[in-house]
């Protein structure tokens, strides 16, 4: 952990823009390296996601006809729940191991810290999606390997992680940290879920682009708006 | 006598229910504000008393 | 503790007067609606309550922003007070909306964009309060509250839009075919007047309650500080 934090510190001496990107990269790399060592994040997210799909299988009658309409909902609920797990753990690790303080001492703009975390959270979420999609395809004999679908998953995950990282940074500092993140996140993230599910359904049903274009636009707008809000707000969270 | 349209629905009970909820909730909130304020005032008085009693002993120490 | 300022007394008086007039307008001045009957009168206060909920939310977001800029605790007090009042009035909005919907569409709940958005606003408010409850340090509590207040407020129009699009593409069987109509009826001039007057009245109610609630917050902080002092003696 120390070497990675040190890397972020050394970074600040180079040119400003290069330094910023290198700081973001250093944080991303730190998270990847830590995860490769312990695999606790990915492991728990994947197991959880698989369990959720299993539960859905028994809770809903996923027969052939229903499957068509319900698949996107099941997928996105799974992502949302597993994502919460990942966000929580990711931020808790920062706080518990004291990495946060080390990172804050580094002479880089605070938003670099935010971006680094967003990228690493996004990476983990996409890895989970990359594993869940083929799994779901196999279990339910549905072809999920459509390019449009990958795009929707990326857009939706970006929105989810942009807001989730911001809120997780706050939630992890509260006493009620574990239950608080979903309570804070889900109402805010609703447009992402609605849009992502509808766009996914549109793609799975092979509808023409105009039919679900509005949803894609909504996703993009959401991502952009909240990225802006988060960049401005993050400083205030890690102030001390 | 020609009736041009049917009479409006008999929804008086629902209206009453609705207004009871609206006015009742507002009233309860106002009452809670008053109650909380009174409690805090009493707490303040208590703290004043306790600190007044504490003063003489700290002065003599 | 501290005496009620004269302006607040005047404001309270005005608000009570407006409220009484509003009651008169809603029950007597406005005519009975031709199709829905008496229950339509609930509409005047139902919308006014929703209006207060939205205004309260906006005030919380703005007060939070000002707090982040100025760090004067008074703005945080305003933000919390506004959230509390907002919870109450959004709750009133939702329940009165359900009561109004029942005799008209024979269901307590319609997946109408406004009703759903109001419910999500309620959840956001409650989440705000829960966030604050879980933080002990007052400065951090105020900061985080401010940020969540802004994030939550920004999300509301987007949420409303997403449900709107959802409803236009997937019209629900319950209710009228037009997804944008929420119990549409024609408003005659007296009804319009009662409606506007209700909005005005509720705005005054909001301001009055806000002032009282901020006072309560200030007293609460003073009691807390005293307690801390006492414990350190």
**Distance (Å, whole) CA C205 – CA C92:** 14
More confident residue, A221 or A21: A221
Phi, psi of A62 (to 5 degrees): -80, 55
Question: CB–CB of A124/A42 below 8 Å?
Answer: yes
**What are the pLDDT digits (tens) for B9-61?**
777 888 889 999 999 999 999 999 999 999 999 998 988 888 888 766 554 44
ipTM of the complex in this document: 0.86
C185 found inside a domain: no
Which of A180, A188, A190 lies closest to C151 in CB terms? A188
C111 found inside a domain: yes
C65 found inside a domain: yes
Question: CB–CB of B22/C49 below 8 Å?
Answer: yes
Phi, psi of C37 (to 5 degrees): 80, -150
Q: Do B14 and C34 touch (CB under 8 A)?
A: no
Average pLDDT in chain A: 84
Q: How far is A147 from chain C (nearest CA, A)?
A: 24
C7 found inside a domain: no
Which of C92, C216, C223 lies closest to B21 in CB terms? C92
**Distance (Å, whole) CA C78 – CA C74:** 6
Residue pointed to by tokens 């060592």: A37
Q: Of A182, A167, A236, whose CA–CA distance to C154 is shortest?
A: A167
Look at the alpha carbons of A187, A191, A194, A196 in this order and tell me if their dihedral is positive or negative: negative
Question: CB–CB of C189/C177 below 8 Å?
Answer: no
Average pLDDT in chain C: 88
Q: How many domains does chain C fold into?
A: 1
The conformational region for residue C173 under phi > 0 = left, psi -120 to 50 = alpha, else beta, is: alpha
**Distance (Å, whole) CA A110 – CA C9:** 47
Residues in chain B: 61
**Distance (Å, whole) CA A34 – CA A1:** 8
User: What pLDDT shows up at residue C58?
Assistant: 97
Q: Domain map of chain B by residue range?
A: 29-53
User: What pLDDT shows up at residue A154?
Assistant: 95
Q: How far is C27 from chain B (nearest CA, A)?
A: 10
Q: Do C88 and B25 touch (CB under 8 A)?
A: yes
Residue C109 is part of which domain span? Answer: 41-172+202-218
Question: CB–CB of A23/A108 below 8 Å?
Answer: yes
List chain C residues with pLDDT less than 50.
Answer: 173-181
User: What pLDDT shows up at residue A165?
Assistant: 95
**What are the pLDDT digits (tens) for A96-106?**
777 767 777 77
């Amino acid at each position: 952990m120390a070497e990675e934090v040190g890397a972020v510190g050394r970074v600040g001496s180079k040119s400003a823009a290069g330094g910023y990107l290198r700081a973001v990269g250093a944080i991303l790399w730190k998270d990847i390296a830590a995860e490769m060592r312990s695999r606790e994040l990915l492991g728990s997210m994947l197991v959880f996601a698989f369990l959720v799909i299993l539960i859905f299988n028994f809770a809903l009658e996923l027969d052939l006809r229903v499957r068509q309409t319900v698949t996107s909902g099941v997928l996105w609920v799974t992502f949302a729940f597993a994502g919460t797990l990942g966000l929580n753990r990711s931020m808790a690790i920062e706080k518990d191991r004291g990495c946060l303080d080390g990172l804050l001492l580094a002479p880089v703009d605070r938003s670099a810290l935010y971006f680094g975390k967003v990228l690493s959270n996004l990476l983990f979420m996409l890895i989970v999606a990359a594993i869940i999609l083929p799994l779901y395809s196999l279990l339910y004999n549905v072809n999920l390997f459509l390019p449009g679908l990958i795009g929707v998953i990326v857009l939706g995950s970006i929105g989810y992680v942009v807001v989730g990282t911001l809120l997780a940074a706050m939630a992890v500092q509260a006493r009620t940290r574990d239950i608080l993140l979903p309570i804070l996140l889900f109402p805010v993230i609703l447009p992402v879920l609605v849009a992502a599910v509808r766009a996914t359904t549109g793609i799975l049903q092979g509808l023409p682009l105009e039919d679900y274009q509005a949803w894609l636009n909504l996703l993009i707008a959401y991502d952009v708006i909240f990225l802006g809000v988060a960049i401005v707000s993050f400083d205030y969270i890690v102030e001390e | 006598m020609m009736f041009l349209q049917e009479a409006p629905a008999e929804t008086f009970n629902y209206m009453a229910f609705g207004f009871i909820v609206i006015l009742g909730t507002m009233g309860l909130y106002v009452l809670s504000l008053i109650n909380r304020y009174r409690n805090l005032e009493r707490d303040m008085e208590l703290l004043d008393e306790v600190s007044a009693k504490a003063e003489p002993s700290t002065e003599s120490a | 503790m501290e005496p009620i300022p004269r302006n607040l007394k005047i404001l309270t008086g005005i608000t009570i007067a407006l409220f009484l007039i509003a009651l008169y307008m809603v029950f007597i001045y406005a005519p009975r609606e031709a199709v829905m009957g008496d229950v339509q009168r609930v509409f005047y206060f139902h919308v006014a309550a929703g209006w207060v909920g939205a205004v309260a939310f906006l005030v919380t977001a703005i007060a939070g922003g000002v707090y982040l800029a100025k760090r004067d605790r008074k703005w945080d007090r305003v933000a919390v007070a506004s959230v509390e009042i907002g919870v109450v009035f959004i709750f009133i909005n939702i329940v009165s909306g359900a009561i109004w919907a029942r005799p008209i569409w024979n269901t307590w709940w319609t997946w109408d964009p406004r009703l759903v958005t109001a419910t999500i606003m309620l959840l956001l408010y409650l989440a705000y309060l829960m966030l604050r409850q879980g933080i002990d340090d007052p400065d951090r509590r105020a900061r985080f509250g401010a940020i969540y207040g802004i994030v939550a407020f920004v999300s509301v129009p987007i949420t409303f839009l997403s449900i709107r699009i959802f409803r236009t593409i997937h019209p629900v069987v319950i209710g009228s075919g037009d997804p944008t109509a929420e119990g549409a009826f024609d408003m005659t001039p007296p009804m319009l007047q009662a409606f506007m007057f209700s909005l005005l009245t509720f705005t005054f109610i909001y301001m009055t309650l806000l002032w009282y609630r901020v006072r309560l917050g200030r007293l609460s902080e003073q009691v807390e500080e005293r307690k801390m002092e006492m414990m350190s003696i």
